[in-house]
Amino acid sequence: MPLDDTTPQLDALLLGTVLEMELSPRDNQVASKRYNLIPEHLQRPNSPIRPYMETALVYPQGSRAIGATIVHGADDDRFDLDAILEFRTPAGWTPRRVLDELHAAFEGFPDVKKIERCTRCIQLQFAFMHLDVTPMDPDRDPRAERVGEIYHSPDEGRDERFRVNPYGFGQDFRARITMPSRSFQDHVRDVRSKLQMKDRLVPGTIMADADIDALPEPIDPIRDAPQVIALKLMKRYLNLRYANRDEKRPVSVYLSKIAAEVPLSPFGICAQLESYAAELDKRMAAALETGRRPEERNPALWEENFNDRWPKHDREMKLFRMDLRHLVSELARARSSSLTDTRRIFDGLFGERVSEKAVRAYIDGLSSTAGVAHYEHNKGFVANPALIAAAPKKATQVSKAPAHHFHPGFRDK
């Protein structure tokens, strides 16, 4: 099956899969509240870093900054979110001390179950949510917007500082994404509104319900762009592939950058995911062939190498290629499989729970009332025509067939 073919029903299942992995509106509100509580908590009277928090700035980085947050999926219903905490390095503090003091300062954070000091960040572990807070020392003026240095302090080895610009990357990512057609966006919103999304983040006693509900949660439209949908599907797929491996997985920021560089496919979500996987595979193949490891740079700060921690070995790239090829071959199989077999393929790719829910949501969304049916010329029935019109310029021709009723009978010989 060529890559340039549309897959309207498969796309509907892929979309349902992605929506099942999203945060509910209430989860988003709770997550926002936790971001907002960071400076407040660190400025409390007995905070060891209180004096340095006056000009501190907190903002999302990673998936939350680019609309690509999903449930992890391999072990539990967990979301991993990231934040940058900007404040000037106190005089004489080493990276180790910054991380240690910040670790101590988070003690008593509302609802937190466990606080871990990692090599570059402090991880706040809540029920169903991890929040990685990475401290950053902002550059001195004149400063390129939000450029600064993060700290690296491993148990063994020397302390280091790295110049980064996650905010700039988020801005660049957003600028590269092509928003789909209005009908595609409307359809995604419509499907989402019909889902019974489970709230995973239950607030504790400190965050009263009224407090949470009062927070208006801005909806990020970028999350519904096919390039971002493909990124979320890839992340979920890799979460499952690496769940039982003792290997480093491709870093999210690298995956994100490439996802935004793959142009919007006019043929739908499956084609977008296939093109994305093919692009990653091509890059791995080139790296293995030339012996030069990938070095994707932050477009907003050229010295920031997104591949500084992955890949370290050819083995890792070969493993990743195997996963990419498995994904592409399974999608090709789904293109020519029955719904029953497609369901099994999705179980393997994205997890049983989400695929079961995605199929159920698709079926429940069908109307049994006779109405006009859409069909793609020379191909056939289309349940959701908006999905094959993601690109503003339609790749395919869709028409309507008049309403009718199926009817059983005996063959009149």
Partner 1 sequence: MKTKPRKPRSAQVQSNRMRHRWPDLRPRMLEGGRVIAWIGPLRGFQMRYEVAVIWEWQNPKAVPLVHVLDPPIEPRPGTDFIDLPHLNYDHQTPEDSALCLFDPDAGEWDSTMLIADRIVPWASEWLHFYEIWHLDGVWRGSNAPGPISVGEILRQRQEAPDGTRA
* 124 within 8 A of 136, measured Cβ to Cβ: no
Q: Using the rule CB under 8 A, give the single segment among 124-132, 189-197, 203-211, 360-368 that binds partner 1.
A: 360-368
CB of 271 to partner 1, least distance (A): 13
Which 3 state secondary structure label does DSSP give 367? coil
46 is a site residue for partner 1 (CB under 8 A) = no
The count of other CB atoms within 10 Å of the CB of residue 95 is: 23
- Give the tokens for residue 96: 């180790």
Site for partner 1 in 334-353 (CB under 8 A): 334-340, 342-343
Q: Which CB sits closer to partner 1, 1 or 285?
A: 1
CB of 365 to partner 1, least distance (A): 10
Q: Using the rule CB under 8 A, give the single segment among 64-72, 116-124, 174-182, 370-378 that binds partner 1.
A: 370-378
Regarding beta strands 129-138 and 148-152, do their DSSP bridges make them parallel or antiparallel, or are they unpaired?
Answer: antiparallel
CA 227 to centroid of chain Cα atoms: 11
**Integer angstrom CA distances of residue 314 from 90, 247, 264, 289, 326:** 40, 12, 30, 10, 18
- Which one of residues 2, 157, 291, 409 is an interface residue with partner 1 (CB under 8 A)? 409
Q: Which CB sits closer to partner 1, 313 or 360?
A: 360
- Which one of residues 46, 196, 244, 368 is an interface residue with partner 1 (CB under 8 A)? 368
- Which one of residues 9, 28, 32, 153 is an interface residue with partner 1 (CB under 8 A)? 9
What distance in Å separates the CA atoms of residue 195 and residue 20, rounded to the nearest whole number?
8
Helix (H) or strand (E) holding 209: helix 209-213
Q: Which CB sits closer to partner 1, 46 or 378?
A: 378
Q: Which CB sits closer to partner 1, 290 or 378?
A: 378
377 is a site residue for partner 1 (CB under 8 A) = yes
Q: Which CB sits closer to partner 1, 232 or 335?
A: 335
406 is a site residue for partner 1 (CB under 8 A) = yes
**Residue 106, exposed/middle/buried by CB under 10 A (0-12, 13-18, 19+)?**
buried
Q: Which CB sits closer to partner 1, 204 or 371?
A: 371
**Integer angstrom CA distances of residue 405 from 142, 366, 372, 383, 410:** 71, 15, 11, 16, 16
Site for partner 1 in 282-341 (CB under 8 A): 334-340
Q: Which CB sits closer to partner 1, 142 or 408?
A: 408
Q: Which CB sits closer to partner 1, 6 or 153?
A: 6
The per-residue b/e assignment along 260-296, b for 16 or more CB within 10 angstroms, e otherwise, is bebebbbbbbbbbbbbbbebbbebbeebeeeeebbeb
Site for partner 1 in 101-140 (CB under 8 A): none
What distance in Å separates the CA atoms of residue 112 and residue 372, rounded to the nearest whole number?
53
Greatest alpha-carbon pair distance for the chain in Å reads 96
* 342 within 8 A of 10, measured Cβ to Cβ: yes
2 is a site residue for partner 1 (CB under 8 A) = no
Regarding beta strands 79-86 and 129-138, do their DSSP bridges make them parallel or antiparallel, or are they unpaired?
Answer: parallel
Q: Which CB sits closer to partner 1, 159 or 376?
A: 376
What distance in Å separates the CA atoms of residue 281 and residue 287, rounded to the nearest whole number?
10
- Which one of residues 371, 387, 389, 390 is an interface residue with partner 1 (CB under 8 A)? 371
Q: Using the rule CB under 8 A, give the single segment among 154-162, 300-308, 313-321, 363-371 that binds partner 1.
A: 363-371
What distance in Å separates the CA atoms of residue 136 and residue 82, rounded to the nearest whole number?
13
Q: Which CB sits closer to partner 1, 36 or 399?
A: 399
- Which one of residues 279, 375, 394, 395 is an interface residue with partner 1 (CB under 8 A)? 375
* 28 within 8 A of 290, measured Cβ to Cβ: no
What distance in Å separates the CA atoms of residue 103 and residue 85, rounded to the nearest whole number?
13
Which 3 state secondary structure label does DSSP give 181? coil
What distance in Å separates the CA atoms of residue 60 and residue 28, rounded to the nearest whole number?
13
Q: Which CB sits closer to partner 1, 285 or 403?
A: 403
Place of tokens 């049916």: 373
- Which one of residues 48, 379, 392, 394 is an interface residue with partner 1 (CB under 8 A)? 379
263 is a site residue for partner 1 (CB under 8 A) = no
CB of 408 to partner 1, least distance (A): 5
Q: 81 φ, ψ to 5°?
A: -120, 155
Q: Using the rule CB under 8 A, give the single segment among 42-50, 52-60, 115-123, 358-366 that binds partner 1.
A: 358-366
Q: Which residues of this protein are in contact with partner 1, per CB under 8 A?
A: 7, 9-10, 334-340, 342-343, 359, 363, 366, 368-371, 373, 375-381, 383, 399, 401-411
